[in-house]
Structure 1
C-alpha cells in the first residue's frame, strides 16, 4: 500500500469516525425540532411536497444526515417516522462507501411511503435500505412532486433537499435505516 493510499484510508477512517459522534447525541426533543424545521424547509423548497405529505401513509424525515469522505466515506443521521401527523418512531441512517469521493455535506431527506404495504414492510424490517422500487429525486431536478406521473405509480418516494457543503459522489447508496430508542 502506498503512502498516499494509507493517508487517504486514514483520513477517510477519521472522517467516518467523526460523522456519527456529531449527530448521535440527539435526544427526542432535538430530533423532533429538527424534523419540524426540515419539513418547513421541504414545503418551502419543493412544489407539491405538502400534497405528497398529506397523501402519504407515513413519512420518514431525516433532517440532518452528515456525509464525509476522502476515498473512504461515511454518513450518519437520525430522524423520525411520521404517521397521521404524529411522530411514532425514531430511526437512524448509516452508510459506508469506498471509491472516488471527496468532501463533506449535510443533507436532508424525506421518504414518503405512499401505500400501507410499503409502510408496513419498512416498519417490520430489521434494518431497511432504499431499494430500486423507490423514486428518488434530488435538489435542482425541477420535479413538481404533485404533478409527476413517475411518482403516482411508486409505493416509495425519496426526496433529498436542503443540502449544505460539497461532496463528489454524495449518493446514499447502500444506506441502512434502523430503528433507534429515543
Structure 2
C-alpha cells in the first residue's frame, strides 16, 4: 500500500523543491484562511502545545490509492520542524481530491510523542472536527476527547471522505 503513495510523492504536490520558505508561506496562508473561515479554531491554537499544518494534501485512488503532502510543525507560533504526510490504501475507491489539514496537539505528552517518533501514524486517537463546527469550536469542550485534534478543510475534488487515519508523518529537511 505504501508503494501506491510513491507516484504522488514524485509529483511534488504543488510545493516543488523550493525549500522551507515556500512551505512556511503556504503554512501561514493556510492558517490565516482557517482562522478567518473558522474563528473558533483560534481557541484550539491558544490552548495547543503544538500545531502541525499540512497546507495541501493530494489524495488519489483507483483500486490502489495514496496521498502526499508537506507541512510544518509550529510550537508557540514558530516553525520547529518540517514533515511529510503519506498514506496508502487499497479497496473500492476511485477519484482524487485535495485538502488542507491541521493537527492540534492539545497536550505536551502528545506533542512529545509525535516529535520523538521516527514516523508517527495517525490512528483512532484522533478527534475530527467537522468544518461546520469551526464557528462554535471551543477547546475545553473537546480536549477531553483526544490529545490530538484534526481539522480537515478546503476540500476539492471528487473523492468522498478525507480521513487521516493511517497517515504517516515523517520529519523532512526541505
TM-score, structure 1 as length reference? 0.84
Following TM superposition, by how much is the alpha carbon of 1:172 offset from its aligned partner in structure 2, in angstroms? 3.0
Choose 1 or 2 for highest CA Rg: 1
Of 75, 80, 86, 2:67 maps to 75
CA distance in structure 1 between the aligned counterparts of 2:134 and 2:25, rounded to whole angstroms: 28
Whether the aligned pair in 2 keeps the contact of 1:16 and 1:73 (CA below 8 Å) is no
Q: Say whether residues 1:139 and 2:159 are aligned partners.
A: no
Aligned counterpart, 1:31: 23
**SS of residue paired to 1:102:** strand
Following TM superposition, by how much is the alpha carbon of 1:29 offset from its aligned partner in structure 2, in angstroms? 0.8
Q: Say whether residues 1:124 and 2:121 are aligned partners.
A: no
C-alpha change, 1:149 and 1:106, in structure 2 (3 Å) is: same
What do residues 4-53 of structure 1 show as CA deviations (whole Å, max 9, x unaligned)? xxxxxxxxx6x861454232535111100110011011112223101111
Of 97, 105, 110, 1:113 maps to 105
**SS of residue paired to 1:119:** helix
Whether the aligned pair in 2 keeps the contact of 1:19 and 1:66 (CA below 8 Å) is no
Structure 2, unpaired ranges of 5+: none
**SS of residue paired to 1:168:** coil
Please, which moves more after superposition, 57-66 or 24-33? 24-33
Counterparts in 2 of 1:142-153, with a 5 A limit? Answer: 144-146=136-138, 149-153=141-145
Following TM superposition, by how much is the alpha carbon of 1:134 offset from its aligned partner in structure 2, in angstroms? 2.0
CA distance in structure 2 between the aligned counterparts of 1:81 and 1:38, rounded to whole angstroms: 13
CA distance in structure 1 between the aligned counterparts of 2:151 and 2:117, rounded to whole angstroms: 21
Aligned counterpart, 1:65: 57
Number of equivalences: 170
Please, which moves more after superposition, 67-76 or 19-28? 19-28
CA distance in structure 2 between the aligned counterparts of 1:26 and 1:91, rounded to whole angstroms: 15
Q: Say whether residues 1:22 and 2:12 are aligned partners.
A: yes
Q: RMSD of the TM alignment (CA)?
A: 2.2
Whether the aligned pair in 1 keeps the contact of 2:127 and 2:145 (CA below 8 Å) is no
